Amino acid sequence: MAVPRTYQEFTDTLIAYAPMADWPLALQSLWWAAKGDWNSSHDIAQDLHTEMGSRIHAYLHRMEGDEWNAGYWYRQAGKFFPKSTLTEELQELVEFEINS
């Protein structure tokens, strides 16, 4: 399974047991988040010391309802707390990662 080129290709991979090991770590983290495995996603995101790692970390804490912690991580990423839904934010993050 190659690295997806679109969000639809990404969502099509969610039938698999795990993301491909050769995918970028940020995309693997987003894959676990999309599967609903917060812990696996967070384990990867907390070790990504990049803007994208902070964005994913923020998304995950927003997902769990911890707005204070999410706000911290959005600020770390230089982003405002989004007004979009979690589904919309996930798609935005995946598309950003795919296209970077």
Q: Helix 38-45 vs helix 51-63: angle between axes, to the nearest 10 degrees?
A: 150
Residue 29 falls inside a structural domain = yes
Q: State the residue for tokens 């679109």.
A: 6
Q: Where are the alpha helices (DSSP H) in the chain?
A: 7-12, 25-34, 38-45, 51-63, 67-76, 86-98
Which residues form the domain of 73? 24-98
Rounded to an integer, the average pLDDT of 14-20 is 96
Overall number of domains in the chain: 1
At residue 49, does pLDDT exceed 80?
Answer: yes
At residue 1, does pLDDT exceed 80?
Answer: no
Residue 4 falls inside a structural domain = no
Residue 6 falls inside a structural domain = no
What local confidence, expressed as pLDDT, does residue 2 receive?
Answer: 87
Residue 12 falls inside a structural domain = no
Rounded to an integer, the average pLDDT of 3-11 is 96
pTM reported for the whole predicted model:
0.95
End-to-end alpha carbon distance in the chain: 19
User: Using the 8-state DSSP alphabet, how is residue 14 labeled?
Assistant: G
